[in-house]
Amino acid sequence: MTRDELKAEMLRHLQYSFGKDPAHAQVRDWRMALSMAVRDRIVEPWFAATRATYSGQHKRVYYLSLEFLIGRLLEDAIVNLGLGQAAREACAALDLDFEAVMTDEPDAALGNGGLGRLAACFLDSLSTLSIPAHGYGIRYEHGLFKQSFHEGRQVEQAEDWLNQPHAWEFERAESSYEIGFWGEVEEKDGRAIWHPGDAVLARAYDTPVIGWQGRWANTLRLWGAKPTKLFDLARFNTGDFTAAAQPEEAARTISRVLYPDDTTDAGRELRLKQEYFFAAASIRDILRRYTSEYDDIRRLPHKVAIQLNDTHPAIAGPELVRILHDEHGLAFDEAVQIASATLNYTNHTLLPEALERWSEGLMRHLLPRHMRLIEQIDDWHARTTKGRTLSAIDQGSVKMGELSFMLANRVNGVSALHTGLMKKTVFAELDRLHPDRIVNQTNGVTPRRWLLACNPGLSGLVTETIGTGWEDDLERLGQLDPHVSDAGFRARFAAVKRANKAHLSDWIGREMGISVDPDAMFDVQIKRIHEYKRQLMNVLDVIATWHAMRGEPGLDWVPRVKIFGGKAAPGYQTAKEIIRLINDVATVVNSDPAIGDRLKVVYPPNYNVSMAERLIPAADLSEQISTAGKEASGTGNMKFALNGAPTIGTLDGANVEIRERVGAGNFFLFGLTAEEAMARREVPDHAGRAIAASPELAQAIAHLERGTFSPGEPDRYRHLAQILRHHDYFLVCSDFAAYHAKQRAVDAVFRDRDAWVAMAARNTARSGWFSSDRTIRSYAAEIWDVTPVEVGPGACVLAS
Ligand code: TH1
């Protein structure tokens, strides 16, 4: 597509789709017009992919996830369709600022963090690999909350991405299912019939997901909740308007927000309703599609593979058994066998507080038939494995991990270390009973978004050096390796990073009013705020460094910019204290004349996918410092390495595999191993001992207790200090000295610019394995038993 064709299409959509005259169009109107013009290019490959799947009777993959953190879609579509140049030129010809048009799009923030972003990367790879697939999720009206800081404290506001027309979705009013809740189960002639007490409609909204070069497109189908009855006209006519609107409100509540606060009974009930609402609608849709093509329901596993993204969609298991048994009339055991040959479960965490358990009482009340089936599945499992000591029902609650395991063909962890720990800890007993069921699938990230689109400087250099083709064959980055010993290549690599940093410095200056030196080291930790991720250890290092700089201002310090980004769960008080501390430390350090440009702390609010795309290409150092054994994988770690930022990190999650691939000499390792961490927790007063052994740590904690960063309120960080001294479960104190020392080793290498650039470039060259294309190929071969559909040349032709 040429510039002029694209421009003409934009003008046509502006006029006829949006009724706007170019003279009065705003950035948003132009963005919508461009989005429509690009979207039109996706529809043809989308249809062609659907036709190819039907006509070839290919097996399909269904990825069920309560989260899809997709971010912006316009630039992604433009990049995948190869329309970058045409789009830039068309915008220029219309006198539009391309950058402004792109950044006008709100992020689709239908996820919390890594788990949701992984689902989005997987959709991208499934389409790139032309594997017939659907993503299923919820169309939340409000995605993850907007974060701002008031006097350093996190304030949450509702996010409202759907408060404007959404360019990428197609509403399917005709595709809707009635989803029941509550009620009772009738036993009739040996059959169970569930009579729900209430119901809502699940309506489908489809977003096409285009793969690399537009060869294939899959569908992300999100469910929105609607009332079964529109509104109560009789009540309305008596003047009771609020009551008349009640059914609509109650139904819409289900798809209103991502992750309702589950600290109350009402919140927990809503979350379970969301899970069932979306799982039931998806299962029904999957079976409708299957039965429209095939007669024999027993052959379901030959044509359908369902992946449960953590246990959030786990109720899909009992729902599938219910339909096969109660509605299709299969014997119970056969129904369970078919369901478990179709279903697979990915575990993403071993943290006990994140392992879902539902109270039996709530489950029996909300889903009476399912609770009965869960008991039967549990009995069936005990009967067929003779594993009688093991149950998915324990002390009045249903353990969704165990239930998912029992009903799965394959269960996977998300990094080698994590999978090993799954086998040793939470699923030890189940692994013994089913020794081949657990497999590892190390996470990956899509190189289209996380290198090609977000880092045009580096992707240009890569293409100039090794040619194209790496975009969907990322292991080709290995061909860069020999170039790293070439001084000319290193200089160009360094120049790209320098330009990205200058660009980010401008943004930080504009957005935050902080001036940072682009030649300083950009040291970045961006992720959810959590004690196990140890942002607290990072700030303590900032405090210790600041203290040391003040003590010896004459020393030749390596200048650093410490960049933080991330949100805390609204109810997680300790995480919120950590946020406030980072902001308070920033205030003191950034205005300290004794420090100047040698240390800055920058914490831009409202970290999201788009901000990650801005920060990662400009990072020098990647902070991956979780307590070993706690971060299942991490995926940010892969994005940084790919963009040429070496890691300072622990042997946790996928860090282990990153270090193996980039080489131990290109990774700053420190800290206890998972095994050592477990042992250290048993040592009496381990924190006190570590504090006594490290004057820097003792000093930093003393600053917290003295109120150095909370003038006038010395108690503000008393609680954090108490945790460090007496309840240091995440071993911040035990690992601090090693971390602080390793940071000095980082300084030493950074001083030797040439050595640093070589290390950074080797990280890029050796990160090819972390493409989500590799991950998806592996799921396809080892879990789903599907192969990519051959798309003949011209099958989905793209006008170029
Ligand atoms: C994350 C893990 O913490 C992270 O290590 C991993 O890379 C990522 O998943 C993708 O595999 C998780 N996110 C969530 C979110 C919820 C519950 C559990 C997890 S684990 C709501």
For the Cβ of 113 lying below 6 angstroms from any atom of ligand 1, the answer is yes
CA neighbor of 377 nearest in space, from 443, 436, 318 = 318
pLDDT of residue 792: 66
287 and 153 fall within a common domain: yes
386 given a catalytic annotation: no
107 vs 259, residue with greater confidence: 107
Whether 646 and 721 share a structural domain: yes
Judge whether 523 lies within some domain: yes
Q: Indicate whether residue 780 lines ligand 1 (CB < 6 A).
A: no
Three-state DSSP class for residue 175:
strand
Which two three-digit tokens encode residue 53?
């799947």
- Asked about 497 being catalytic, the answer comes back as no
- pLDDT one-digit tens code per residue, 445-471: 999 999 999 999 999 999 999 999 999
Q: Is 533 a catalytic residue?
A: yes
Taking the centre of ligand 1 as the mean of its atom positions, its distance from the CA of residue 632, in whole angstroms, is: 7
Round to whole Å and give the CA distance between 490 and 756.
10
Q: Which residues pair with 184 in a beta bridge?
A: 195
Q: Please state, in angstroms and rounded to a whole number, the distance separating the CA atoms of residues 787 and 784.
A: 9
Answer yes or no: do 297 and 261 share one domain.
Answer: yes
Tokens of 232: 């109560």
Determine whether the shortest distance from the Cβ of 633 to ligand 1 is under 6 A: yes
- 125-159 pLDDT, tens per residue? 999 999 999 999 999 999 999 999 999 999 999 99
316 and 182 in a single domain? The answer is yes
- Any domain includes 497: no
**Does some domain include residue 784?**
no
Cα within 13 Å of Cα(514), Cβ side: 26
Q: Would you say residue 795 has pLDDT above 50?
A: no
Identify which of 91, 76, 100, 120 has the alpha carbon closest to the alpha carbon of residue 27.
100
Report the interhelical angle of 718-726 vs 732-751 (nearest 10°).
100
pLDDT above 50: residue 796? no
Report the residue among 65, 66, 69, 115 best suited for mutation to probe ligand 1: largest number of ligand atoms under 8 A from its CB: 115
SS (H, E, C) 319-378: HHHHHHHHHCCCCHHHHHHHHHHHEEEECCCCCHHHCCEEEHHHHHHHCHHHHHHHHHHH
Catalytic-labelled residue, pool 128, 635, 708, 775: 635
| Residue among 88, 166, 534, 639 flagged as catalytic | 639
Confidence of residue 513 (pLDDT cuts 50, 70, 90): very high
- Boundary of a domain, candidates 713, 735, 752: 752
Q: Where are the beta strands (DSSP E) in 458-540?
A: 521-526
Same domain, 101 and 124: no
Same domain, 402 and 324: yes
Query: Candidates 118, 307, 348: which one to mutate for ligand 1, based on the most atoms within 8 Å of Cβ?
Result: 348
**Residue 237's pLDDT is what?**
87
pLDDT at 793 over 80: no
- Residue 449 within a domain: no
Asked if residue 397 lies in contact with residue 351, where contact means CB atoms within 8 angstroms, the answer is no
- Rounded to an integer, the average pLDDT of 406-432 is 98
**Catalytically annotated residue among 528, 530, 534, 600:** 528
* C-beta 662 within 6 A of ligand 1: no
Has residue 447 been placed in a domain? no
Domain presence at residue 781: no
Ligand 1 close to Cβ of residue 116 (< 6 A): no
The answer to whether 780 and 786 are in contact (CB under 8 A) is yes
| Ligand 1 atom with the shortest distance to the CA of 528 | 3
| Shortest-distance Cα residue to atom 7 of ligand 1 | 634
Q: Is 348 in the pocket of ligand 1 (CB under 6 A)?
A: yes
Q: Last residue of a domain, which of 733, 752, 771?
A: 752
Among 421, 441, 461, give the residue marking a domain's end: 441
Which secondary-structure segment (H or E) carries 656?
helix 655-662
pLDDT > 70? residue 799: no
Specify the pairing of strand 560-565 against strand 521-526.
parallel
CB 743 within 8 A of CB 541: yes
The question of ipTM being above 0.85 is answered as yes
**Average pLDDT, stretch 172-180?**
94
Whole-number Å distance between alpha carbons of 104 and 84: 17
pLDDT band at 263 (very low <50, low <70, confident <90, very high): confident
Q: Which residue has the tokens 């504009």?
A: 510
Residue 116 CA to ligand 1 center (angstroms) comes to: 8
Average pLDDT value for the chain: 96
Residue of 60, 490, 527, 562 marked catalytic? 527
* Per-residue model confidence as pLDDT tens digits over 225-258: 999 987 778 888 888 888 888 888 889 999 999 9
- CATH code of the domain in which 181 resides: 3.40.50.2000
Q: How confident is the model at residue 347 (pLDDT cuts 50, 70, 90)?
A: very high
What's the gap between Cα 563 and its chain centre?
A: 20
Contacts with 411 (C-beta within 8 Å, 6 or more apart), sequence order: 344, 345, 346, 347, 404, 405, 422, 427, 437, 438, 439
Task: For residue 762, indicate whether it is catalytic.
Answer: no
**For residue 653, which atom of ligand 1 is closest to its CA?**
5
Residue with tokens 């390793």, as numbered in its chain: 742
* Residue nearest atom 12 of ligand 1, based on CA coordinates: 115
Model pTM score: 0.98
The pLDDT of residue 74: 97
Q: Are residues 392 and 527 in the same domain?
A: no
Task: Using the atom order of ligand 1, give the atom closest to the CA of residue 632.
Answer: 5
Same domain, 653 and 720: yes
Asked if residue 631 has its Cβ within 6 Å of ligand 1, the reply is yes
Mean pLDDT of 278-307: 98
For residue 751, report the distance from its CA to the centre of ligand 1, in Å.
36
Distance CA 251, CA 273 (A): 11
**Is the domain of 112 the same as that of 46?**
no
Is the C-alpha dihedral spanning 678, 680, 686, 692 positive or negative?
A: negative
Q: Are 507 and 546 spatial neighbours (Cβ–Cβ below 8 Å)?
A: no
Q: Catalytic: 325?
A: no
For the chain, give me the number of helices (H) and strands (E)?
32, 24
The answer to whether residue 639 is catalytic is: yes
119, 309 contact by CB (below 8 A): yes
Which ligand 1 atom lies nearest to the CA of residue 654? 7
| Domain region containing 310 | 59-71+107-441
Say how many domains are in the chain: 3
Exposure string of 170-183, with b = 16+ CB inside 10 Å and e = fewer, is eeeeebbbebbbeb
* Same domain membership, residue 99 and residue 144: no
**Residue 627 CA to ligand 1 centre (angstroms):** 15
Residue 492: in which H helix or E strand, if any?
helix 487-512
237 shares its domain with 360: yes
Q: Looking at the DSSP assignment, which residues form a beta bridge with residue 257?
A: 142
206 closest CA partner among 272, 280, 273, 285: 285
d(CA 10, CA 675): 59
Query: Is ligand 1 within 6 A of the CB of residue 772?
Result: no
Q: What is the DSSP letter of 450?
A: I
Residue 499 counted as domain residue: no
Residue nearest to atom 17 of ligand 1 (CA): 354
Examine the pLDDT at 743 and tell me if it is beyond 80: yes
> Is residue 177 assigned to a domain?
yes
Q: Which of 60, 134, 312, 348 is catalytic?
A: 348
Q: Which residue has the tokens 């008349």?
A: 244
Query: Which pLDDT does position 560 carry in this prediction?
Result: 98
The CA 346 to ligand 1 mean position distance, Å, reads 10
Ligand 1 atom at minimum distance from 114 CA: 8
Shared-domain flag, residues 541 and 668? yes
Mean per-residue pLDDT, 364-381? 98
> Probe ligand 1: pick from 117, 122, 349, 650, max atoms within 8 Å of CB?
349
Q: Nearest-CA neighbor of 573 among 264, 263, 256, 110? A: 263
The CB of 115 under 6 Å from ligand 1? The reply is yes
Q: Report CA(35)–ligand 1 centroid distance (Å).
A: 31
Residue pLDDT, tens place only, 621-637: 999 999 999 999 999 99
